[in-house]
């Protein structure tokens, strides 16, 4: 089905491109928001990403799913922008993006619902967020794609353009770094 939509876009059907936007806009926005931690930047990057997708749709050959292809363009575009900005690359995990079907909300279960337990829960979330933000760009992205978005090792490999073994070893290293930073 997706490849048929791509073929229609290649023939100039803008309604078909609108279908691609409708299907993947939330996913692209969510990725950009997690990387830039800023609504305005995420919106700007989402627009830039879909412009790139439109200009490069002829490169979508069907070797990978269109979802992976879109994610790859989104990831690479965001990382290029991060590199241009040199170091402004925080990821926020403290809120859910409203209206997103693929959004992530981190909830730590509590046995008691007291103000003290709520404060401890919030402090725990803050500690996790700070630990993730202190990771380098690659480790943050790996944690986000695998543990938050639930992508397969193969999809991550295609998006980040590294082999599966490297994905697994870097992800393991990133998780170990997080474990050492977070005190439970």
Query: What pLDDT does 150 receive?
Result: 86
115 and 37 belong to one structural domain? no
Confidence class for position 184, pLDDT limits 50, 70, 90: low
Average pLDDT value over all residues in the chain:
79
54 inside domain:
yes
Confidence class for position 108, pLDDT limits 50, 70, 90: very low
Among residues 106, 38, 105, the alpha carbon closest in space to that of 78 is found at 38
101 inside domain:
no
CA distance 135 to 23: 31
Q: Which of 31, 53, 88 is the last residue of a domain?
A: 88
Query: What pLDDT does 13 receive?
Result: 87
6 inside domain:
yes
**What length does the chain have?**
184
82 inside domain:
yes
Higher pLDDT, 179 or 127: 179
150 inside domain:
yes
39 inside domain:
yes
20 inside domain:
yes
81 and 159 belong to one structural domain? no
Higher pLDDT, 97 or 142: 142
40 and 79 belong to one structural domain? yes
pLDDT above 90 covers what percent of the chain? 26
- Three-state SS across the chain? CHHHHHHHHHCCCHHHHHHHHHHHHHHHHHHHHHHHCCHHHHHHHHHHHHHHHHHCHHHCCCCCCHHHHHHHHHHHHHHHHHHHHCCCCCCCCCCCCCCCCCCCCCCCCCCCCCHHHHHHHHHHHHHHHHHHHHCCHHHHHHHHHHHHCCCCHHHHHHHHCCCHHHHHHHHHHHHHHHHHHCCC
123 inside domain:
yes
Q: What range defines the domain where residue 32 resides?
A: 1-88
In the chain, the number of structural domains is 2
Q: Which of 88, 116, 137 is the last residue of a domain?
A: 88
Among residues 76, 44, 81, the alpha carbon closest in space to that of 141 is found at 76
CATH number at residue 116: 1.10.10.10
CATH number at residue 30: 1.10.1740.10
158 and 121 belong to one structural domain? yes
Q: What's the pTM?
A: 0.58
Could you tell me the two tokens for 113? 């619902």
Query: What pLDDT does 19 receive?
Result: 92
Confidence class for position 29, pLDDT limits 50, 70, 90: very high
83 and 112 belong to one structural domain? no
Query: What pLDDT does 96 receive?
Result: 46
> Is residue 46 left, alpha or beta, with left meaning phi > 0 and alpha meaning psi from -120 to 50?
alpha
């Amino acid at each position: 089905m997706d490849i048929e939509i791509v073929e229609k876009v290649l023939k100039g059907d803008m309604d078909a491109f609108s279908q691609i936007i409708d299907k993947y806009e939330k996913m692209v926005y969510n990725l950009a928001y997690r990387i830039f931690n800023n609504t305005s930047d995420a919106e700007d990057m989402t627009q830039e990403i879909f412009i790139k997708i439109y200009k490069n749709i002829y490169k979508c050959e069907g070797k990978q799913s269109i979802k992976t292809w879109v994610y790859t363009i989104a990831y690479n575009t965001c990382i290029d922008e991060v590199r241009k900005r040199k170091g402004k690359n925080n990821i926020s995990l403290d809120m859910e993006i409203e209206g997103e079907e693929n959004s992530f909300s981190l909830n730590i279960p509590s046995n008691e619902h007291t103000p003290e337990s709520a404060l401890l829960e919030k402090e725990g979330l803050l500690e996790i967020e700070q630990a993730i933000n202190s990771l380098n760009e690659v480790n943050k992205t790996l944690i986000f794609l695998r543990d938050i978005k639930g992508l397969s090792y193969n999809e991550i490999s295609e998006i980040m353009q590294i082999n599966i073994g490297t994905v697994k070893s870097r992800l393991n290293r990133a998780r170990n770094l997080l474990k050492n930073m977070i005190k439970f």
